[in-house]
Amino acid sequence: MVISKLKIRMGPAGILFFNRRTGINILVDEFTPPPKLWSAAPRQVSIALTNACDLVCPYCYASKNSVMLDFESLKHWLIELDLNGCVGVGFGGGEPTLYPYLVEICSFAANETRLAVTMTTHAHRLNKQFLDDLAGNLNFVRISMDGVGSTYESTRNRSFDELIKHIVDIGKIFRFGINYVVNSKTFCDLESAICVADDLGASEFLLLPEISVNDVSGISSETLDALRIWVSRYQGNVPLSISESHKEGFPFCDPFKTEKELSAFAHIDASGTLKRTSFDLNGIQIQEDGIMAALKIMNSEVA
């Protein structure tokens, strides 16, 4: 089945035209469609395919119970999201490369929906065969790189040189960006990490100030202030972005200011629970009537 690569989404911000192959977004904001035409699904949805992970990073907030999403249910949810105006989904975890149907679900999304598909990974399992199997079915890969050299190795317990080799191989096939958790330990490596990202050809550098969840302390106010100063002085080549939770006070463009909360973003955890963010402890369990029904319940709780 051949699916058009052009996605059209209507909302309070205007009419969005999106090409998942090139990543180009065109927002026509001179005209606001009537509310009855607004897309019902969130613009972006992150999906934790599994809680399994072969790393034990000290700042990880993800649940450690061993669960993963049902493959058939996931296919139905992707179709629902596509039909209701979602632009893209981001597969994560845990570590998504440990999900046994990763190749199949990426292929399904690429061939049976108009959704853009991204994946967030530590990259160490992405050997040549894995990359070949995913080729053509992923639009963007986000690679976690919190620090360089010994800083990275002390938290991830993996070789930084091996990570670089994997990123080089990924860059031969996919557009990619770097995800960077910022805390007092990793902040000092920011300049070096940006240089590495630039040299490797990264399309984006996503700043993720550490969130305080469960036993994770979160970024200190001093480090957050230092990050704001660093961003204000940044003149590098790699475009910066920042997590939604810390965008206030940072000079980043937000063309979708009128799309808020569930119209902008939602998260599905590995147990099939719909949440407002991946950090939330509670949500709505997705039942047989699907993800849009769960979204309706969640929206009604706000109203």
Count of alpha carbons within 13 Å of 262, Cβ hemisphere only?
21
Q: What pLDDT, on a 0 to 100 scale, did the predictor assign at position 4?
A: 52
Count of all residues that appear for the chain in the document: 303
Residue 247 lies in a domain: yes
Residue 204 lies in a domain: yes
Query: What's the predicted TM-score (pTM) here?
Result: 0.93
Residue 297 lies in a domain: yes
Q: Decide: 201 and 177 in contact? Cβ < 8 Å.
A: no
Tokens of 124: 């160490």
Which string of DSSP letters, residue by residue, matches 149-201? Answer: HHHHHHHH-S-HHHHHHHHHHHHTTS-EEEEEEESTTTGGGHHHHHHHHHHHT
Alpha-carbon distance of 281 to 303, in angstroms, equals 20
Residue 60 lies in a domain: yes
pLDDT per residue as tens, the chain (303 positions): 444 567 999 999 999 999 998 888 899 999 899 999 999 999 999 999 999 999 888 777 777 677 999 999 999 999 999 999 999 999 999 999 999 999 999 999 999 999 999 999 999 999 999 999 999 999 999 999 999 999 999 999 999 999 999 999 999 999 999 999 999 999 999 999 999 999 999 999 999 999 887 666 789 999 999 999 999 999 999 999 998 878 877 887 777 888 888 999 999 999 999 999 888 889 999 999 999 999 999 988 765
The amino acid sitting at 233 is: R
CATH code of residue 197: 3.20.20.70
Alpha-carbon distance of 131 to 60, in angstroms, equals 25
Residue 198 lies in a domain: yes
Domain range enclosing 175 = 39-302
Residue 100 lies in a domain: yes
Residue 13 lies in a domain: no
Q: What pLDDT, on a 0 to 100 scale, did the predictor assign at position 64?
A: 66
- For residue 94, is the peptide bond before it cis, meaning its omega torsion is within 30 degrees of 0? yes
Q: Decide: 61 and 211 in contact? Cβ < 8 Å.
A: yes
Residue 3 lies in a domain: no
Backbone angles phi, psi at 194, to 5 degrees: -65, -40
Alpha-carbon distance of 48 to 269, in angstroms, equals 5
* Domain count along the chain: 1
Regarding beta strands 44-48 and 240-242, do their DSSP bridges make them parallel or antiparallel, or are they unpaired?
Answer: unpaired
Helix, strand, coil tally for the chain in percent (to 5): 35, 20, 45
